[in-house]
Amino acid sequence: MPIKPSPAVLRAVDVLEFLATRPADAPTMSEIARRTGLNKATCQSVLLALAERGYVLRDASSLGYSLGPVLIPLGTLASSSLRLPQIAQPEMETLSNTLGVTTVAAVTAGAHMMVVSAVGAPQPFHVSPEVGQLVPFVPPLGAAFVAWAPRTEVDAWLNRALRRLNQAERQHFLEALEVVRANGYSVTLDHAVRGEFGRTVEQLAIHPDSQEAQSRRDALIAELGVTNYLPVKLEHGRTYRLTQVSAPVFDHAGTVALVLLIVALGLELETEQIAACGQRVREAAARITELVAGVPPYPHGEWTDHQTAAMTGGDRA
């Protein structure tokens, strides 16, 4: 039997939509009931519930109702979320031009991450992300999305791993996420299966229902391993082959709304150069956060050299 929409929710939406057409005045409950087709008892119940949560306001003198303050941040968030790829475009272009790499913006879509924007010429001999591509939001993928999340969400991410993690592996991920938070960006290293993984994701973009490709993709994610792909510490003076460097864009509630990343497939950089790239990506993401009235979960301007040194094993602020 098909599930039907909740009548109570539909009535509340009817009331809000009607009030949205009357921004200049405050209609009474009787008028709202008449114009929405609700009986007075039902209309009063809906208005009381909406007023309790701040979605509507009741004027004590006129007994009229108007839209409430809670809708302001919700509207701002919805507007910003829809425009995020466009807002991020200039920063993405600057990163691509400055660093000579492809820059990608991604969001979470349920149990997946989805590319919503890509800037820069494809890198020779490498698979480049395309808008609309999906990859599972499972360890070791998506650290920049989950590093600032509540512990319950972190545990849910760990539990979605495509193979059972032992205690040491779970601890490694928790430590890696702590480093991501301290640095403000995530780094992943190149892996032997990375090329095949990219080609499999590309194949799934063309044939999303291919069970064979899905199974192969999941097997390759499990093969990425724990300690090699998402490191806890990079040694001073060493050169590493990268996959990507990413940083979060936060919304008004301090939640990661979008991740900005540079695709650095096979790029060989010394530890200090990696930190410099991470700082550039982090600062670009911070500027986008400011443009969308986002609230980072740390005071503005408090990133320090000590925090940037976290992945290299230095002291943290």
Kindly list the averaged pLDDT for each block of 10 residues, start to end, along the chain of length 317.
81 91 86 94 94 89 88 65 84 93 89 88 59 86 94 93 87 94 92 60 67 72 65 90 93 91 87 95 95 76 42 44
Q: Are 265 and 289 in contact (CB under 8 A)?
A: no
Q: Which fold has domain 7-69?
A: Arc Repressor Mutant, subunit A (1.10.10)
The residue extents of the domains of the chain are: 7-69, 74-312
> Which tens digits make up the pLDDT trace of 251-284?
888 899 999 999 987 788 999 999 999 999 999 9
pLDDT score at 183: 94
Q: Which CATH number is 74-312's, of 3.40.640.10, 3.20.20.210, 3.30.450.40, 3.30.1180.20?
A: 3.30.450.40
Q: Cα 11 to chain center, whole Å?
A: 32
| Three-class SS of 179-235 | HHHHHCCEEEECCCCHHHHHHHHHHHHHCCCCHHHHHHHHHHHHHCCCCCCCCCCCC
pLDDT in tens, 51-75: 988 889 998 888 999 998 878 766 6
Nearest 5°: the CA angle 22, 26, 30 is: 100
What's the pLDDT score for residue 250? 94
| CA–CA gap between residue 148 and residue 305 (Å, rounded) | 20
β-strands 102-109, 134-136 pairing: unpaired
Is the whole model's pTM more than 0.85, yes or no?
Answer: no
Q: Cα–Cα distance between 305 and 146 in angstroms, integer?
A: 23
For 38, the enclosing helix (H) or strand (E) is none
Could you give the CA distance from residue 305 to residue 285 in angstroms, rounded to a whole number? 18
Quote the tokens at residue 22.
Answer: 């009357």
